[in-house]
Amino acid sequence: MAVDDLADLLGPNATLLADKAYDSDAVRALAETAGAWANIPPRRNRKGTFVFSKWVYRQRNLVERFFNKLKQFRGIATRYDKLPENYLAAIKLASARIWLRSYESTA
């Protein structure tokens, strides 16, 4: 399971953000043993209730949508640049273009 690999990265007072697909007792127990807080929206068939912050989950969604916009750039999605420095520069350039596009529409 992919969550087991990420369990080593969780530290005390960390926040685990995940989709409804990861709403299981095992994932919540894994986060609890690591000392982290699991901010996972409960499934509809969930019997118990858990603390869930919609605001934190909304911020996660903004980051996820940004990465989806970033993947629209062909050079980044296919990783044309093999050197990490050039790839990072392409990501920064594309991020600036996305930011300018969003700033332009609000002004």
pLDDT of residue 44: 87
Per the structure block, which two tokens stand in for 87?
Answer: 């790839």
Name the residue ranges covered by the structural domains of the chain. 1-63, 71-107
Which of the two residues, 2 and 95, has the higher pLDDT score?
95
Give percent above pLDDT 90 in the chain.
23
Average pLDDT, the chain: 86
Q: What are phi and psi of 18, to 5 degrees?
A: -150, 165
How far is it, in rounded angstroms, from Cα 33 to Cα 31? Answer: 6
pLDDT tens digits, residue range 18-62? 888 888 888 888 888 888 888 888 888 888 788 888 898 888 888
Smallest Cα–Cα separation from 8: which of 30, 26, 29?
30
Per the confidence metrics, is the pTM higher than 0.85? no
